[in-house]
Amino acid sequence: MPKLTIAQNILAANDTYAAGIRQLLAPRGIRSINFMSSPGAGKTTLLERTIRRLRVKLQIGVIEGDIETSADAERIEAAGASETCQINTRGNCHLEAHMVQAALDQFDLDRVQLLIIENIGNLICPNAWDLGEDLRVVITSTTEGDEKPAKYPQMFADAQVVVINKLDLLPYVDYDLEKVRRQVLALNPHLRIFELSCRTEEGLDGWCEWLENFARGEI
Ligand code: MG
Ligand code: ZN
């Protein structure tokens, strides 16, 4: 069973880093979110729209996980994030807590009230890695089909919030919104669901209002 032992050791080391991150953020009143989705569901675009709306009220720090480029971090910086850091995992398919810790070492935490970590686009394994976050958000979109919760149940079961994006494209795709709602709530009855379109900005008001309350510790 050597493989299992190694995996457990790595996860135990990860949990130590994650606990350190909580000890760093909690006393400063910084709340944190781990954003997860498949590639192309719209994580970065949702972040951009969110930061544009909230930047006058809230200082948002963003850690951008990507396999190679820094294009997303540049978009986030332009949107008005107070602190940003790009992590390139060089092929690794998820972020780990030691990577988040290294990014936070470069932040001026006095300029951060809400920390958002954009994980690698992947629905298979990022949920296995605790990043010290307070909240997990999974984004899914109408263009990727309505089977995602059934195919990747653990991602949805481990989250507290699901965002269904690209609502404006609903008339053009075979996507059963009611089925997705039913499936995710069957996996996790406490899930909070937001349905929105980053393109038309429908539903963004409710999402941003909720996020601001979360950041202020009111949720
Ligand atoms: Mg992205
Ligand atoms: Zn992975």
Residue 25, pLDDT above cutoff 70:
yes
* Nearest to 219, CA basis, from 18, 59, 43, 33: 33
CATH of the domain at 196: 3.40.50.300
Edge-to-edge strands, sheet with 114-118: 83-88, 60-66, 114-118, 31-37, 135-141, 161-165, 192-195
Residue 7, pLDDT above cutoff 90:
no
Give the model's confidence band at 28: pLDDT under 50 very low, under 70 low, under 90 confident, else very high. Answer: very high
Give the model's confidence band at 111: pLDDT under 50 very low, under 70 low, under 90 confident, else very high. Answer: very high
Going from the Cα of 78 to the center of ligand 1, the distance in angstroms, rounded, reads 14
Q: What is the pLDDT of residue 8?
A: 75
Going from the Cα of 67 to the center of ligand 2, the distance in angstroms, rounded, reads 11
Going from the Cα of 18 to the center of ligand 2, the distance in angstroms, rounded, reads 16
Q: Which domain holds residue 187?
A: 2-215
Q: Convert the pLDDT of each residue in 47-88 to its tens digit.
A: 999 999 999 999 999 999 988 888 889 999 999 999 999 999
Going from the Cα of 168 to the center of ligand 2, the distance in angstroms, rounded, reads 31
Give the model's confidence band at 6: pLDDT under 50 very low, under 70 low, under 90 confident, else very high. Answer: low
Give the model's confidence band at 3: pLDDT under 50 very low, under 70 low, under 90 confident, else very high. Answer: low
Q: What is the pLDDT of residue 9?
A: 81
Those residues with Cβ within 8 angstroms of residue 125's Cβ, 6 or more apart along the chain or in another chain: 93, 94
Residue 24, pLDDT above cutoff 60:
yes
* pTM confidence score: 0.94
Q: What is the pLDDT of residue 69?
A: 84
Those residues with Cβ within 8 angstroms of residue 177's Cβ, 6 or more apart along the chain or in another chain: 142, 146, 164, 170, 195
What's the mean per-residue pLDDT of the chain? 95
Going from the Cα of 160 to the center of ligand 2, the distance in angstroms, rounded, reads 20
* Domains held by the chain: number: 1
Q: What proportion of the chain, given as a percentage, has pLDDT over 70?
A: 97
Q: CA-CA distance, 119 to 158, in Å (whole number)?
A: 15
Q: CA-CA distance, 118 to 195, in Å (whole number)?
A: 19
